[in-house]
Amino acid sequence: MPNIPIFMTFGNNDCHYHDSAPPTDEKADFYSFIWNLWFVNHPANLPFATESAQQTFMDGGYFRADVSNGVAVLSVNTLEYNLGQNSVWIGPEAENQFQWLESNLNNTEDATKFLIITHIYAGGRISHNTKN
């Protein structure tokens, strides 16, 4: 296996229920399984398996990986904001993730550049009610 880190993000077909992040009662088992798959079982990703990355990953499948001085990857789980998301399953994860993203982007004192990876692009799968 090559010693190259690979950073992933969740897509609409990556969870048990299409277009939805896992429901709260399945979240711990699901994210733990994927954490092991993406980080523990891929040796090149182990240096990025920090305590804070694991904490946010277990909250809602999002994480930060500092790949070099001044460069970091932010993997955002956009399933939390998808219109196809089952609204009954929506917990605090989406808001937690927004606060985490805002904190990362606003609180960098070292001029860190961010590569933000998502599956559903910003503004995608949103209905708009217009008069025209």
Tokens found for residue 102 = 């805002």
Averaged pLDDT of the chain: 84
The percentage of residues in the chain with a pLDDT greater than 90, rounded to a whole number, is: 49
- Which string of b and e fits 17-56 if b means at least 16 CB within 10 Å? eebbbbbeeebeebbeebbeebbeebeebeebbeeebbeb
Range name among 7-11, 27-31, 83-87 with the lowest pLDDT average: 83-87
Between residues 59 and 81, the one the model is more confident about:
59
Q: Is the pLDDT of residue 83 over 80?
A: no
Q: How far apart are CA 75 and CA 59, in angstroms?
A: 13
